[in-house]
Amino acid sequence: MSARTRRVAVGALVSTGLLLAVLLGIDGDAAWARLRAADPTWLAASFAVSAVVLWARGLRFWGLCSRSTPTQVTAAIAVQNALTRVTPLRLGELSLPYALHRVADEPAAPALVHLVLVRLVELWVLLCAAGVAGLWWFGAGQGVAEGVLLGGLAAMTAVLVWFRPLLRLGVTAVTAAVRRLGLDARPVIAKALAALAEAADSSARLDARRRRWLVGGTLAVMALQFVLYGCLLRACGLALAPAQVVVGSAGAQVAGALPVISVGSLGTHETGWTAAMTWVGLGFTDAVVSGLFTQIVTLVFAAVFAAPGWLALHRAGRGFAAERPARVPSSGPAAGPTNRDGEGA
């Protein structure tokens, strides 16, 4: 058995184990009845909101780029989302800086650092929202709930404050893990790790304008994500309070962001969702079913958006290849949201 086959097998076993852990003990008849009663109107609304989320993610990352256009960034993120959902250790994330470098000559090292920073800010915003919603739902004086939420927020704040030294440690750890898994033999991954190490040693920083763009864009993206999950819960026939939606979906998103050796977020999403939703009072069967439902539907959405995204990148790549010898680095759109100087995070 080859190393690649072993990795796929391990990922499938981990995903299967996590899924079985949440599926055991549910009422099968009640679960099937819940799925059959899915509301197509709320599903259509969910698809529309998902499209807006993709557009918002594209604009947010474009504000951190130096050469890419909004269309190119949004197309690359559409492909990245689909790949991340079906690759172990979230390796699909690396497709974003790779694609932007190929189609727009976007500097790879800053793009990788910006990607890491975006994910950290997302987790920070998620924990802030979950902390506020948790206090609203549980009320003051709930020691365990407050401790978990506020403790996680404090940890993420520290990570952002000491982003640079922690990034260097993280690059070292990821490089060691990739080598142990035998993935460093792939040229794309080896180049990505080298670029990330180079960017981690850079002294460049985001200017104040781009920091505001990053935080504001992330707030918009996360708010839309909560709306999306609220629509999906409605499609399942579950009308939850906003605080329950925020805490429950935040738990799933945090769990899905973990670099677990599984098939994408399969298994991690469901376990995180089930744990968080039952924590805020949803019945176990409804929590498991809605977790599976949101996983399947969002995966379908990701696949639908990835197809035109890939075609857009393919067309942009051909045009870029034709003009590249005479290309002069530009400073980006004249009315862009940032100074477009191409500096690292």
Mean pLDDT of 155-166: 82
Mean pLDDT of 121-143: 78
CA distance 246 to 311: 34
- Mean pLDDT of all residues belonging to the chain: 77
- The packing angle between helices 242-256 and 108-138, to 10°, is 140
pLDDT for 173 equals 83
pLDDT for 183 equals 72
CA distance 301 to 297: 6
pLDDT band at 141 (very low <50, low <70, confident <90, very high): low
Mean pLDDT of 67-92: 88
Mean pLDDT of 272-289: 84
Mean pLDDT of 197-217: 79
Q: Residue 19, Cβ neighbours under 10 Å: how many?
A: 21
- Helix or strand (DSSP H, E) at 334: none
pLDDT for 74 equals 96
pLDDT for 256 equals 67
pLDDT for 116 equals 86
CA distances from 193 to 11, 69, 170, 171 (A): 22, 25, 11, 8
Which structure tokens are listed for 98? 């790779």
Its pTM stands at: 0.75
pLDDT for 187 equals 77
Residue 34, SS3 per DSSP: helix
Residue 297, SS3 per DSSP: helix
pLDDT at 226 over 60: yes
Per mean pLDDT, which range of 26-35, 205-214, 229-238, 307-316 is the poorest? 26-35
